[in-house]
Structure 1
Amino acid sequence: MIIVGNVYLSDDIAEQYFVCELSACKGACCVEGDAGAPLEEAECETIAQLLPTVRPYLSQEALEVIEAQGTHTIDQEGDLSTPILPTGECVYAFRDEKGQLKCAFEQAYYEGKSDFKKPVSCHLYPIRITRYDEFDAVNYHRWEICKPACAHGSALRVPLYRFLKEPLIRKYGKRWYDELCRIIELQFGVSHTEDSGQKTSQS
């Protein structure tokens, strides 16, 4: 286990290699599963405010679900999440010309229409955070659909915490992330110095 402040991380975050391979999975994490993306309370307000911005990317079916359920919902475990279509697809996902699922919020972000990239839970995937009263538990979510990402990350030698550098800093801050890197280097006895050519953040 790796402990940084009040965050407890599984060793997988240092030991596993991972780089998303969208050409292989087609964004399946936006479809698979039994609930939408987990949301933080503050994100619900942001998503509601951005609905007019992302509306052009969404299908009519998605808009009808949002009209009926709202811009966010409560999942079976009582947590805030994005609504989903009957097929399981997140209402904020859309398919591009290659058939890959993309996030409407991320598309708007890259087009300079907002400064909200996407829900932080999506940004952090494939790790999931479980909140307790006194600490956060950070664990790697293993999923069959991510096998190509594991193979790609292994080929590039990009450990999970390096791939997730941007969202981890977004979640916990730069100072926290620097301390994570320092502890991993000491605890595992290796240096994961980033090569300039490595892809270490999600697209």
Structure 2
Amino acid sequence: MIEVGSVLVSEELIKEEFVCNLSKCRGACCVEGDAGAPLQQDELDILAAVYPKVRPYMTEKGIATVEEHGTHVVDADGDLTTPCVDGHKECAYVTWENGITKCAIEKAYERGEIDWKKPLSCHLYPIRTTAYPEFDVLHYDRWHICHAACSLGRELQVPVYAFLKEPLIRKYGQQWYNELEESIALL
């Protein structure tokens, strides 16, 4: 681990390489798993506020899920997450384009209808954050569905942290990211 401000960064984020390869995985991370996308407490009001503008981009099943369960749920582990269609796997905010998943929230953002891109946990994936009162720990979440992303990352020689520069800056700021790069250069 390296320490950058009040954040501990797993060295795997520096050593491992990763670039999403949607043509291969088809966005499986949005439809696989045992719960929805993790949400932060401060994202709940944002999600509720943007929902009316996101709704037109959602599938009928996704809309029905949100209408029944709300814009977020508490999962079996007690964590805040996006709701899933039929209670598991597919995120309620998933939509499809040419057989590839797309986030309805992100579509509304890209069209200038909202100013929130998507939940931070989605934007940061495959980085997962464990938050403690005084510090965060960033670690690399390995998942078999991302094999093609690992291969493409190795081919292009893009470390995980570099691929996720934008969401890391979104979370911790440009100065923090600059400090991360300085720390990595000293390794």
TM beyond 0.5 = yes
Q: CA deviation at 1:182?
A: 0.3
State percent identity of aligned pairs.
53
Q: CA deviation at 1:81?
A: 0.7
The one-letter amino acid of 1:183's match is S
Q: TM-score, normalised by structure 2?
A: 0.97
Q: Distance in 1 between matches of 2:59 and 2:164?
A: 30
SS in 2 for 1:167: helix
Cα deviations across residues 76-115 of structure 1 (Å, max 9, x unaligned)? 121111000125100001111x110000111111111111
> What is the RMSD of the two structures over their aligned residues, measured on CA atoms?
0.9
Q: Distance in 1 between matches of 2:27 and 2:89?
A: 13
Q: CA deviation at 1:134?
A: 1.8
Which segments of structure 1 move beyond 6 Å, counting only runs of 4 or more? none
The answer for the alignment partner of 1:153 in structure 2 is 153
Q: CA deviation at 1:133?
A: 2.0
Q: TM-score, normalised by structure 1?
A: 0.89
Q: Distance in 1 between matches of 2:139 and 2:75?
A: 20
SS in 2 for 1:48: helix
SS in 1 for 2:29: helix
Cα deviations across residues 135-193 of structure 1 (Å, max 9, x unaligned)? 11110000111010011111111111110000000000110000000001102xxxxxx
The one-letter amino acid of 2:10's match is S
1:40-51 to 2 correspondences below 5 Å: 40-51=40-51
Q: Which ranges of structure 2 fall in alignment gaps of 5 or more residues?
A: none
Q: Which ranges of structure 1 fall in alignment gaps of 5 or more residues?
A: 188-203
Q: Which moved more, 1:119-128 or 1:41-50?
A: 41-50
The answer for the alignment partner of 2:142 in structure 1 is 142
SS in 2 for 1:101: strand
Q: Distance in 2 between matches of 1:44 and 1:137?
A: 22
The answer for the alignment partner of 2:89 in structure 1 is 88
The answer for the alignment partner of 2:115 in structure 1 is 115
How many residue pairs get aligned? The number is 186
The answer for the alignment partner of 1:34 in structure 2 is 34
Q: Distance in 2 between matches of 1:27 and 1:177?
A: 27
The answer for the alignment partner of 1:20 in structure 2 is 20
Cα deviations across residues 56-92 of structure 1 (Å, max 9, x unaligned)? 1112221111111111111112111100012510000
Q: Distance in 2 between matches of 1:62 and 1:109?
A: 18
The one-letter amino acid of 2:143's match is W
